[in-house]
Amino acid sequence: MAEKLKELKVDFLEYLEIEKNRSQLTIRNYDHYLSVFLDWGKVIDPSDINADLLRGFRLYLNRYEDKKGKKLKKVTQDYYIIAIRGFLKYMAKRDIKTLSSDKVELGKAKDRDVEFLELDEVKRLIAAASGSDLKDLRDRAMLELLFSTGLRVSELVGLNIDNVNLKSGEFSVRGKGDKIRLVFLSDSAKKAVSEYLGKRKDVSPALFVSFLKNTKEYSRITARSVQRLVKKYAVMAGIVKKITPHTLRHSFATDLLMNGADIRSVQAMLGHSSITTTQIYTHVTNKHLKEIHSRFHSDKK
């Protein structure tokens, strides 16, 4: 990658940080995607980027396999193209001659499969964490909170005790892109969190903690630990679906829509910047409604 391109890439990443207020994770990802593209294409000058080069890179991404023979998912391939398109748009704003971003199109995405739990399955999952010791109370509070609020697991593990207002049953959370949104606690979530905190005797500011063996010290729980716990309780509840913390976020959204919530409200509660992202749930709920219609509606001919 030529020095000029390196400087332009750095300028673009700084533009994303300052002007667009993108998260550090997004900036790191864009840096990676662009570096792979520019190094692969041996790009020396912005004018070297043309339709043929981009077409070749898309073929490379589509045919790429790692050492274990694993291919890149379509959504991952799209992330590369989105980063390139953003970089091209940025260079055009600076009147730098290169391929027009308008000529870069994403491949047609297939409908995403959304795995979610029926309400009965959610109840069974939460009931599986039915013990009365501190760990059980913590786990139940986490499950209740995930389903009540639709939090991402990264948002859940980042919560501090003073973030959550149990009295009002609502609190603000900082999500993707540093966007702040309001989330709401159900009565059962408030009760579960209150019981858990009532048994906490430590001084850690973290809402959810891990208990270190053979010590009285607590550390903030990790996203990986939450994933393992959700999987554990799914097995205990006899749920055969592949369950992750994000499944509870999907379940939160589908439950709202199936009970009559409008999609714009669900978008706000999930913290989606685009309504298109939220619309994946309408495929699920529309299919569910069709099944209900077929099951219960009499054809009087």
Half-sphere exposure of 245 (CA within 13 A, CB side): 24
3-class secondary structure, 65:
strand
Tally Cβ neighbours within 10 Å of residue 165.
12
- The SS3 call for residue 129 is coil
Decide if 152 is catalytic.
yes
Helix residue ranges per DSSP H, the chain = 3-18, 24-40, 51-63, 74-93, 119-127, 134-149, 153-157, 187-199, 223-236, 245-258, 263-270, 275-278, 280-296
Q: DSSP labels for 192-223?
A: HHHHHHHH--S---BSSEEE-TTSS-EEEPPH
Catalytic residue selected from 85, 152, 190, 250: 152
- Out of 58, 123, 220, 246, pick the active-site residue: 246
Q: Which residue has the tokens 């999952």?
A: 125
What's the first-to-final CA gap in the chain, in angstroms? 71
Q: Which of 176, 191, 200, 232 is catalytic?
A: 176
Task: Tell me the C-alpha distance between 26 and 17, whole Å.
Answer: 9
Query: Sign of dihedral through CA atoms 261, 262, 263, 269?
Result: negative
Half-sphere exposure of 191 (CA within 13 A, CB side): 3
Catalytic residue among 22, 138, 250, 272: 272
Q: Which pair of structure tokens corresponds to residue 58?
A: 């898309």
Give the whole-angstrom CA distance, residue 98 versus residue 208: 49
Please indicate whether residue 63 is annotated as part of the active site: no
Determine whether 249 is an active site residue. yes
Active site residues: 152, 176, 246, 249, 272, 281
